Amino acid sequence: MARQQWASRTVFILAAVGSAVGLGNVWRFPYLAGKYGGGAFLVPYLIALVAVGIPLLMLEFAVGQKMQQGAIGSYKKLNPSFGSLGIFAIISAFIIVSYYAVVMAWCLLYFLASFGVKWSDDAKGYFYDNVLQITEGIDKLGGINFPIVFSLLLVWISVYFCVWKGTKSVGKVVLYSVPLPVILMALLLIRGVTLPGFLDGWVFYLNPQWSALIDPEVWTAAFTQIFFTLSLAFGTMIAYGSYKNSEDDIAKDTWITALLNSAISLFAGFVVFAVLGYMATQTSTPVEELAASGPGLAFVVFPEALSLMPFAGLFSLLFFLMLLSLGIDSAFSIVEALNAAILDVWQHWKIAQLSLWICVATFVAGIIYTTRAGLYFLDIADHFITNYNGILVAIFQSILVGWVYGAEKLRRYINEVSDWKLGKWWNILIKYFIPVVLATLLATQLSKDLRIPYEGYPGWALGIGWSLVVVPLTVFLLLLFRDWNKIRSRSPQSS
Ligand code: PHE
């Protein structure tokens, strides 16, 4: 059976942009920019984009496109011992999407609650006590919260119908799911700039604080953000690259994907801070006290700001529809990473069948986050997966391509098919710069986590977090050594 392919280059770019542009662009980038030096944050951000993000994205597109396989098969073709790196990547992808979908389930509940702006009296209480019904600590599970489970089920049914026919269905969905949130963002921006106080928000967002640049934390934040926002190291971009034709251009598509993603992040910042500026004026609170990231922004601060404006219900509806449409293509890109990786190894599976099993398994795995202590578990899983698994996979991936397979070999392939030629600098980035930068990030985070228990969670809970890192890492390393030895012990006889 012929391997599936994208219908056109535009569809591929839309799918890649859809994966990259997600909740991270709205609830993380603006916050980081505001907190870490305003306009000055763009300096480390752009350096991280050009020195790490784009070269790695190019690597992943190229690996997928050249090998025409998902993560496991591609790594294996780069070097027969490295197939298990793909297993590490997709286990991590599985964990990410299991909680990413839960956040979308909250968005869906808020979308429905928008009709009556149900949080208008007390946005914080509404989120924590009504929607999550959160327990006082992670050791109290509090049972399953059924509205969230139903909502999660709906999210998974939608995701399933996006991926069930592989690139055919994904290709159709991204025609809508990528432009839609941008249009909604534009509408919210128009609303924002017609409200008093929006400029105060923008001043806070962009006013450069150059002194921030000497703070190492700012640099770590920039590199981590670039990494997550470009969907790197979870097999996603390899899978998407593998559905291209092996003669397609790589360099240009990479730049287009990465620049569109960052442009949408910047744009989202204008929306978020216009609305926060308005809220600051209405409540006489400084903007910096309102700036929040993650669930705090999307489900508490922003809804409260929306409830203060005329036509609150309508704009809340638009906002949560925007989050849903932002999230869905990121979520199904992760399912595609699993799909591609597994289909290439076990070819007897049908796409529709395999997708169904993946969606069911991820739904079931996500049930832990729908308990009344779910937010705590989600916070822990997110912390460990994004700070460790992604970075670890990327380090090994750079070593695999840079040293084992040969950066020069892959560079030559990229140059053969691309109009814009890559210089030798790319090899240097992949072989030296990126592994060193990522290892530094990893070491910084590790020393912090070993000194201070993350968010003060109890040891057993953090133990679960660590096991999400250590178990797949160990599986990968054991299989790597096994295969490495097997191949080495065979080679003297064959020569
Ligand atoms: N890039 C997505 C976001 O910013 C998240 C994501 C991570 C998607 C990893 C796929 C893989 O929200």
CA 24 – ligand 1 centroid, Å: 7
305's CB contacts (< 8 A; 6+ apart) are: 275, 276, 278, 279, 290
- As a whole number, mean pLDDT of residues 58-67 equals 98
Centroid of ligand 1 to alpha carbon of 233 (angstroms) = 10
Instruction: Tell me the pLDDT of the chain averaged across its residues.
Output: 95
Ligand 1 pocket, residue 22 CB under 6 Å: yes
Helix (DSSP H) and strand (DSSP E) numbers for the chain: 26, 0
Distance 116 CA to ligand 1 centre (A): 31
Residue 3 pLDDT more than 90?
A: no
Would you say 273 and 207 are in contact if contact means Cβ atoms under 8 Å apart?
no
d(CA 28, CA 378): 16
Secondary structure (3-state) at 28: coil
Distance 482 CA to ligand 1 centre (A): 32
- Residue 339, pLDDT > 90, answer yes
The CA 258 to ligand 1 mean position distance, Å, reads 13
**CA 20 to ligand 1 centroid distance, Å:** 5
For residues 50 and 254, what is the distance between their CA atoms, to the nearest angstrom?
Answer: 11
Say if residue 138's pLDDT is above 70.
yes
Q: How confident is the model at residue 495 (pLDDT cuts 50, 70, 90)?
A: very low
Q: Which atom of ligand 1 is nearest to the CA of 327?
A: 12
Q: Which residues pair with 371 in a beta bridge?
A: 144
**Cβ of 325 below 6 Å from ligand 1:** no
234 lines ligand 1 (CB under 6 A): yes
Q: How much distance in Å is there from the Cα of 486 to the middle of ligand 1?
A: 36
- Summarised one tens digit per residue, pLDDT across range 260-305 is 999 999 999 999 999 999 999 999 999 989 988 889 999 999 999 9
Give the residue, out of 333, 335, 338, 387, with the most ligand 1 atoms within 8 A of its beta carbon, to mutate for a pocket test: 333
Give yes or no for residue 23 CB within 6 A of ligand 1. Answer: yes
pLDDT for the residue 492:
63
Question: Is the pLDDT reported for residue 428 higher than 80?
Answer: yes
Q: What is the mean pLDDT of residues 13-25?
A: 97
Q: Report H helices in 178-311.
A: 179-193, 198-206, 216-229, 236-242, 251-283, 287-290, 295, 302-308
| Residue 1 pLDDT class (50, 70, 90 cuts) | low
- 98 alpha carbon to ligand 1 midpoint, in Å? 13
Ligand 1 proximity of 229 Cβ (cutoff 6 Å): yes
Atom of ligand 1 nearest to the CA of 390: 9
CB-based contacts of 153, cutoff 8 Å, min separation 6:
363
Give me the percent of the chain exceeding a pLDDT of 70.
99
Radius of gyration of the chain (CA): 22
CB atoms within 10 A of CB 389: 23
Give the pLDDT of residue 493: 55
Between the two ends of the chain, the Cα-to-Cα distance in Å is 35
**Ligand 1 neighbourhood includes 204 CB (under 6 angstroms):** no
For residue 56, pLDDT beyond 80:
yes
Packing angle between helix 390-399 and helix 216-229, nearest 10 degrees?
80
pLDDT, tens digit, 9 for 90 and up, residues 105-136:
999 999 999 999 999 999 999 999 999 999 99
Ligand 1 pocket test: pick from 228, 323, 339, 388 the residue with the most ligand atoms within 8 Å of its Cβ. Answer: 228
Question: Which pLDDT belongs to residue 490?
Answer: 82
Q: Does 334 contact ligand 1 (Cβ within 6 A)?
A: yes
For the Cβ of 231 lying below 6 angstroms from any atom of ligand 1, the answer is: yes
Q: Give distance in angstroms: CA of 138 to centre of ligand 1.
A: 26
Question: How many angstroms is it from 309 CA to the middle of ligand 1?
Answer: 31
User: Ligand 1 centre and the CA of 230: distance in Å?
Assistant: 7
For ligand 1, the distance from its centroid to the CA atom of residue 211, given in whole angstroms, is 30
Selected residue with higher pLDDT from 411 and 220: 411
- How high is the pLDDT of residue 71? 97
For ligand 1, atom 7, name the residue with the nearest CA: 231
Query: For position 37, what pLDDT does the model report?
Result: 87
**Does residue 236's CB lie within 6 angstroms of at least one atom of ligand 1?**
yes
**Mutation choice for ligand 1 from 26, 226, 229, 297, CB with most ligand atoms inside 8 A:** 229
Task: Say if pTM beats, i.e. exceeds, 0.85.
Answer: yes
Residue whose Cα lies nearest atom 12 of ligand 1: it is 22
Ligand 1 site-directed mutation target among 162, 264, 330, 386, most atoms within 8 Å of CB: 330
